[in-house]
């Protein structure tokens, strides 16, 4: 049989892939004047970003400061807040910390003003903060019986730190009398990210105006933690459990707003870290909002999105009584799985439908097991080998179909030539040939379709797998981010300002894989003039669009296509015998073939069309 060779057209196409990139590099190379202008523009951007950082406290409402040494100011403050002026104004903070998280709670507002993750740093080695420098705000808005509209941000709380067994308990009380108060109660357990949080009142029946709503207001500007702010922003979004454990999300790419019912928890997810507010029961309604702050890649921008949630609270007997939890920690399946009763594991973006099921119950446990005793990059390689071995029967079926089509190529070419002026007759005879030979031109597509859920599931798995965060392999210093081997002095649209190596290797591998599959189909299936273009376009798209994706994902595709190439070569050279396939097809032609209903219907329709065509000519 004819051997497939690397012809000159294929070589030209391969070279063109890299030629286009080189041309793009050269075409986009800035002049000295443009470089100078870019430098000035960069300085302006940095100044603007610095101004944004400094003004964050103005954008998210923060407690109004008063001069506690000024008796007039203190008297004015007490007059403004009425009965809650019983608590003496006192600036200060209280620290709650264990081995995994550090929290700082302010007397003013009684809220968390700093949340730092212990043991984790950002891409530039700064500790990971979820709350810092006024980027977040938690408050209750309510009315009093003397028609004052108050915000807990403006109230001073009296702190009391105690122990309950091994747990740290912080009671923050805004008092109207010694035994009447609004209380925030924080309870921190050892080595846990989940913080118990109770909001309750005592003796405020008659102080709080029960005819006016009490609104819980939680806002946050999410702090950048990753090297690529666009990539991190893609996986930063509001996620929430509502309406009988349905998991929904706000848009990650544009401004979005929803009002939902029966909300169990709200997650402000910052890619690999999350701030989650849970409720023991369910909020009747919750208004959620997300604003995208990232328009383009930036090395200086500090915030990705601005989130807001507004939840109405109800008084029972004139009092507040709500049992919440705060979760400040990694979006890590191993950690969140500890809180199954709250369902926090569902906040991880495994993917929808069957794709999420595959990620959650197959890939995540398998990779967790492999990475427990193998280096993280090697674990990806081993998992890739396992996936390809499991999918090898589908690869065999696909290649067998291609081999059969290749054997039939001379006869198909003959039919094309014989009926070149009669497309309908050519199609009829081609289908008869397929039926007699026992070959289906679509049989190679079915195995490919079966692999699609695997492909998409892995596309979601690698960018969101916390286990890959800041794990190095070969030249990649972080398998959850891109593996830049060169920094460009300019930015190429859609490509970026750097060159990643794993996408290049994956593109080369996918090119040769497609040359063995699509390239063969081009030679055996008529009427497909654009397949060669697709063969060149696919690796080019991989090269461009995966340049900013997780290097672990590109590593998987590189190894996967490499293994598939070896499997197909093994099938071709050691398993399939094209002479035997040809002989089997000839035997099949001699056997009487019974048409199935679909084939019969198609034949009858084509025959009717042929008859109508003849009548039309007469």
Q: Whole-model pTM?
A: 0.77
pLDDT for the residue numbered 152 = 93
Could you tell me how many helices (H) and strands (E) the chain has, helices first?
17, 19
Which residues pair with residue 139 across a beta bridge?
217
pLDDT category of residue 57 using cuts at 50, 70 and 90: very low
pLDDT for the residue numbered 295 = 86
Cα separation, 251 vs 268, whole angstroms:
12
pLDDT for the residue numbered 580 = 65
pLDDT tens per residue, range 578-598:
566 666 666 655 555 555 555
Cα separation, 481 vs 501, whole angstroms:
12
pLDDT for the residue numbered 215 = 94
Give the end-to-end CA distance of the chain in Å, rounded to a whole number: 46
pLDDT for the residue numbered 433 = 64
The CA-based diameter of the chain, rounded to the nearest angstrom, is 109
3-state SS assignment for residue 96: strand
Structure tokens at 35: 């470089």
Query: Tokens 């080189």 label which residue?
Result: 22
pLDDT tens per residue, range 179-236:
999 999 999 999 999 999 999 999 999 899 888 889 999 999 999 999 889 889 999 9
3-state SS assignment for residue 184: strand
Residue among 552, 316, 596 at smallest CA distance from 440:
596
Residue among 148, 145, 157 at smallest CA distance from 79:
148
Considering 67-76, 106-115, 239-248, 496-505, the range whose residues carry the highest mean pLDDT is 106-115
Cα separation, 433 vs 413, whole angstroms:
12
Q: Of 99-103, 409-413, 474-478, 584-588, which gets the smallest average pLDDT? A: 584-588
pLDDT for the residue numbered 52 = 45
Contact residues for 378 (Cβ-Cβ < 8 A; gap 6+): 473
pLDDT tens per residue, range 260-319:
999 999 999 999 999 999 998 899 999 999 999 998 888 889 999 999 999 999 998 889
Contact residues for 567 (Cβ-Cβ < 8 A; gap 6+): 388, 392, 395
pLDDT for the residue numbered 99 = 94
Q: Evaluate if residue 411 carries a pLDDT over 50.
A: yes
pLDDT tens per residue, range 445-456:
655 666 677 878
pLDDT category of residue 557 using cuts at 50, 70 and 90: confident
CB 16 within 8 A of CB 535: no
Q: Of 102-116, 239-253, 390-404, 538-552, which gets the smallest average pLDDT? A: 390-404
Average pLDDT of 563-572?
79
pLDDT for the residue numbered 578 = 59
Structure tokens at 530: 């654009």
pLDDT for the residue numbered 490 = 83
Query: Tokens 């989650």 label which residue?
Result: 276
pLDDT category of residue 35 using cuts at 50, 70 and 90: very low
pLDDT for the residue numbered 304 = 94
More confident residue, 390 or 278: 278
Considering 10-14, 38-42, 541-545, the range whose residues carry the highest mean pLDDT is 541-545
Average pLDDT of 382-393?
85
The secondary structure element, H or E, covering residue 164 is strand 158-164
Average pLDDT of 328-357?
89
pLDDT for the residue numbered 566 = 83
Contact residues for 163 (Cβ-Cβ < 8 A; gap 6+): 169
């Amino acid at each position: 049989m004819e051997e497939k060779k690397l012809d000159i057209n294929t070589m030209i196409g391969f070279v063109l892939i890299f030629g286009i990139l080189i041309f793009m590099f050269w075409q986009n190379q800035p002049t000295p004047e443009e470089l100078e202008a870019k430098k000035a523009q960069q300085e302006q951007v940095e100044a603007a970003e610095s101004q944004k950082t400094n003004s964050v406290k103005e954008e998210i409402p923060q407690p109004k400061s008063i001069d506690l040494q000024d008796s007039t100011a203190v008297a004015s403050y007490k007059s403004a807040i009425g009965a809650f002026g019983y608590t003496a104004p006192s600036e200060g903070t209280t620290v709650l910390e264990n081995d995994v998280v550090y929290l700082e709670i302010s007397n003013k507002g009684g809220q968390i003003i700093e949340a730092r993750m212990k043991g984790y740093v950002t891409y530039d080695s700064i500790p990971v903060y979820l709350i810092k420098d006024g980027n977040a705000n938690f408050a209750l808005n309510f009315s009093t019986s003397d028609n004052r509209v108050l915000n807990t941000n403006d109230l001073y709380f009296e702190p009391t730190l105690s122990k309950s067994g091994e747990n740290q308990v912080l009671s923050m009380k805004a008092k109207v009398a010694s035994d009447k108060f609004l209380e925030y109660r924080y309870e921190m357990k050892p080595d846990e990210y989940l913080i118990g949080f109770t909001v309750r009142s005592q003796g405020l029946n008659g102080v709080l105006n029960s005819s006016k709503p009490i609104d819980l207001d939680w806002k946050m500007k999410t702090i950048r933690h990753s090297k690529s702010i666009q990539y991190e922003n893609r996986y930063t979004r509001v996620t929430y459990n509502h309406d009988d454990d349905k998991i929904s999300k706000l848009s990650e790419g544009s401004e979005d707003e929803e009002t939902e019912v029966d909300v169990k928890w709200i997650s402000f997810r910052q890619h690999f870290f999350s701030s989650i507010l849970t409720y023991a029961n369910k909020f009747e309604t919750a208004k959620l909002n997300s604003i995208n702050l990232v328009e383009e890649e930036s090395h200086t921008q500090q915030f990705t999105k601005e989130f807001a949630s507004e939840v109405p609270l109800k008084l029972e007997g004139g009092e507040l009584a709500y049992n919440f939890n705060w979760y400040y920690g990694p979006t890590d399946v191993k950690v969140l799985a500890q809180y199954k009763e709250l369902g926090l594991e569902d906040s991880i973006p495994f993917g929808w439908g069957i794709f999420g099921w595959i990620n959650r119950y197959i890939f995540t446990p398998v990779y967790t097991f492999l990475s427990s005793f193998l280096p993280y990059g090697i674990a990806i390689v081993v998992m890739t080998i396992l996936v390809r071995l499991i999918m090898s029967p589908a690869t065999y079926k696909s290649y067998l179909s291609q081999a059969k089509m290749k054997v039939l190529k001379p006869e198909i070419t003959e039919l094309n030539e014989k009926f070149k002026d009669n497309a309908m007759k050519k199609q009829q005879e081609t289908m008869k040939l397929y039926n007699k030979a026992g070959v289906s031109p679509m049989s190679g597509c079915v195995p490919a379709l079966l692999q699609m859920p695997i492909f998409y599931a892995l596309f979601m798995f690698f960018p969101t797998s916390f286990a890959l965060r800041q794990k190095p392999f070969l030249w990649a210093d972080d398998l959850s981010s891109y593996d830049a081997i060169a920094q460009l002095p300019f930015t190429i649209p859609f490509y970026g300002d750097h060159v990643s190596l794993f996408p290049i290797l994956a593109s080369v591998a996918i090119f040769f894989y497609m040359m063995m599959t699509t390239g063969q189909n081009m030679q055996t299936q008529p009427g497909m003039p654009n397949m060669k273009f697709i063969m060149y376009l696919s690796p080019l798209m991989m090269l461009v669009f995966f340049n900013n994706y997780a290097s672990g994902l590109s590593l998987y595709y590189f190894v996967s296509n490499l293994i598939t190439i070896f499997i197909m070569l093994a099938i071709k050279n050691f398993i399939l015998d094209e002479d035997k396939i040809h002989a089997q097809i000839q035997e099949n032609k001699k056997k009487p073939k019974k048409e199935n209903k679909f084939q019969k219907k198609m034949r009858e329709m084509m025959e009717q069309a042929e008859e109508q065509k003849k009548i039309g000519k007469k």
